[in-house]
Structure 1
Amino acid sequence: MIRLAQIVRHPIKSVGFEELASASLTKGRALPFDREWAVIHEAAKFAELTSWQPKMNFLRGVAGPELMAIQARLDEAEETVTLTHPRAGEIKLSPDHDGQRLIDWLRPLWSTDRPAPARVGRVPGQPMSDTPSPFVALLNHSSNRALGQHLGQDLSIHRWRGNLWLDCMSPWEEFDLVGKSVRIGEAVLEVQERITRCKATTVNPKTGRADADTLGALEQHYGHQDFGVYALVTKSGNIAQGDEVTIL
């Protein structure tokens, strides 16, 4: 029986991951507060953030590996985020009102040869994910373990910046879900496409340093650089860790 093992969101794009015990999914929407805010750098190709924009305009783990080691805790009622990092310590702030504090905290973690962080942006209801579609990313624990075996090390799930981690599947069985729907708890999601990965996944979320050639291992052993699948919520409902996952 397939189970929902973890629920993960990233309140600020590329700046911290947070595990949840439960969540409420809404038809046509992403996981609540996932990539709700983003840190815009000084070379961004737009003046104001009023709609979805490509990832190249924002701070990202692929360009600043130390960002991958940030953990987050969001207070949804206050819309404040507490961020922790092994070197930078802890900070609590409102992304809407304390943008400069966030930027100052991030500067030592960001590469000096990259465009500097400039401001924090938000488009309510439009996550600043890698695609404009309100996808929820489904990933498979067995695939992560299989890839780790090829690399000879345990891989943290947080390298992949996914949302819903499924257990009790065969390795790579998630790819067979494309074109199908799954029920998780009360919600239903339609699986749309595979997710092609970038070098951010080579970085260890505990250290903020690259230590595993995830892309090379995917290419060598499987002939692709895909990990996980994107899905759209087609029926609203609550989900929780341990929920049964049914393929419809």
Structure 2
Amino acid sequence: MPFLSKILIFPIKSLDGVEVTQASLLEGGAIAYDREFAIVNEQGKFVNGKRTEKVHALRSSFDLAARTVTLGVHNQSQFQTFHLDRERNALASWLSDYFGYTVTLQQNLYMGFPDDTEASGPTVISSATLETITSWFPGLSLEEIRHRVRANLEIDGVPPFWEDQLFGKLGQYVPFQIGDVAFLGSNPCQRCVVLTRNPWTGKRDSSFQKEFTIKRQQTLPNWAELSHFNHFFRLTVNTKVPPSETGKVLQIGDEIKILQSQAIHSAATDEGNTKLPG
């Protein structure tokens, strides 16, 4: 029986994650605290791994109960702790000094800052998928692959790429359930340069995307809906959470069920929203 084996939350978009044993759903569909904050420049653009590799060298740890973040730089010994609410200006100043230009911290308590605002729920992948991808790249660890992928929900008790059953034809959703929480699977997420980089240094592997794409096409399971794969640099499943699920709780060990084989039609196709959760 498929079950939820890991929950990862990324309180500040593009920075390190926090592993938790349970999490509630926001009205906008996201997991509470996930991408609650985003770093933006003076033009209002996200400062993330897509725009600057310096993001990868930032080390962050969070105390969600205390509402604090501790920041440092990879391979450096000095760290500083900030309260996310009371010391937000000081935190922004520290980040501005690090990046070399002015940044601020924006907050969204409705659904955080997902890349896919149409399918703003948590992203899903199986443990076996991560293990399989690790086998494609000798020298990379499972933990490094997990850090590159940055998925919210990890499923165990299933074969590799089991999650590719959770999306239907373009413009359709596949209903499934994790514990008591209902989800609609939307689309396989289109990846970007972040997946090709070392998650701690930002160094890019120039051959990663080509090798990944070849292997992904070769191992695509029969249950995957091909209409989404105009290319094969896609991984994890984006989801939508109905408003009725607001406040419900996910927890490790929850069973996962696909509710019906017939997908639900959506008002619009998803190709414009197949983006990486950064």
TM over 0.5: yes
Cα distance in 2, alignment partners of residues 245 and 239 from structure 1: 11
Cα distance in 2, alignment partners of residues 2 and 124 from structure 1: 30
Matched with 2:70 is 82
**CA deviation string 1:126-174 (max 9, x = no partner):** 3112122332111122222222211223243121121111122222221
Q: CA deviation at 1:31?
A: 0.5
More displaced 10-residue stretch of structure 1: 225-234 or 89-98: 89-98
Is 1:177 paired with 2:166? yes
Q: CA deviation at 1:193?
A: 1.1
| Preserved CA contact (<8 Å) 1:18 1:71 | no
Is 1:150 paired with 2:150? no
Q: Gapped runs of 5+ residues in structure 1?
A: 45-56
Q: Root-mean-square deviation (CA), in Å? A: 2.5
More displaced 10-residue stretch of structure 1: 202-211 or 182-191: 202-211
Q: CA deviation at 1:213?
A: 4.7
Matched with 1:200 is 194
Q: CA deviation at 1:199?
A: 1.0
Matched letter for residue 62 of structure 1: K
Is 1:106 paired with 2:106? no
- The structure with the largest strand share of the pair is 1
| Preserved CA contact (<8 Å) 1:2 1:245 | yes
Is 1:188 paired with 2:149? no
Matched letter for residue 124 of structure 2: L
| Preserved CA contact (<8 Å) 1:72 1:83 | yes
Q: Gapped runs of 5+ residues in structure 2?
A: 168-172, 218-230, 260-278
Matched letter for residue 64 of structure 2: D
| 1:128 aligned to which of 102, 107, 113 | 113
Query: Given the two structures, how large is their TM-score scaled by the length of structure 1?
Result: 0.81
1:95–1:28 distance in 2 versus 1, CA, 3 Å = closer
Is 1:224 paired with 2:232? yes
Query: Given the two structures, how large is their TM-score scaled by the length of structure 2?
Result: 0.73
**Alignment length (residue pairs):** 231
| Preserved CA contact (<8 Å) 1:182 1:247 | yes
Q: CA deviation at 1:42?
A: 2.5
